[in-house]
A and B are shown apart, each in its own frame.
Chain A
Amino acid sequence: KAGVTQTPRYLIKTRGQQVTLSCSPISGHRSVSWYQQTPGQGLQFLFEYFSETQRNKGNFPGRFSGRQFSNSRSEMNVSTLELGDSALYLCASSLQGYGYGYTFGSGTRLTVV
Chain B
Amino acid sequence: LAKTTQPISMDSYEGQEVNITCSHNNIATNDYITWYQQFPSQGPRFIIQGYKTKVTNEVASLFIPADRKSSTLSLPRVSLSDTAVYYCLVGEAGSGNTGKLIFGQGTTLQVKP
Contact = CB atoms under 8 A, between A and B. Distances in A.
B43 interface: yes
Contacts of B43: 4, 90, 92, 104-107
B9 to A, nearest CB: 15
A22 interface: no
Contacts of A103: 46
Nearest to B87: A43
Contacts of A58: 100
A49 B99 CA distance: 8
Contacts of A105: 43
Interface string B74-113: 0000000000000100001111011111111110000000
Interface residues of A, number: 32
Interface in A28-57: 31-33, 35, 42-43, 45, 47-50, 55-56
Contact of B103 (A31, A43, A47, A106): A43
A8 B102 CA distance: 25
A22 B42 CA distance: 16
Given A43-B103, A98-B92, A56 B45 contact: no
Interface in B32-49: 32, 34, 41-46, 49
Contacts, number: 77
Contacts of B101: 33, 35, 43, 45, 92, 102
A98 B94 CA distance: 5
Contacts of B44: 43, 90, 104
B31 to A, nearest CB: 12
A31 B99 contact: yes
A10 to B, nearest CB: 10
A94 B41 CA distance: 21
Nearest to A44: B103
Given A33-B98, A92-B43, A109-B41, 6 more contacts: A33-B99, A43-B101, A50-B98, A50-B99, A106-B41, A107-B43
8 contacts: A33-B98, A43-B44, A43-B87, A45-B99, A47-B99, A58-B100, A98-B94, A99-B92
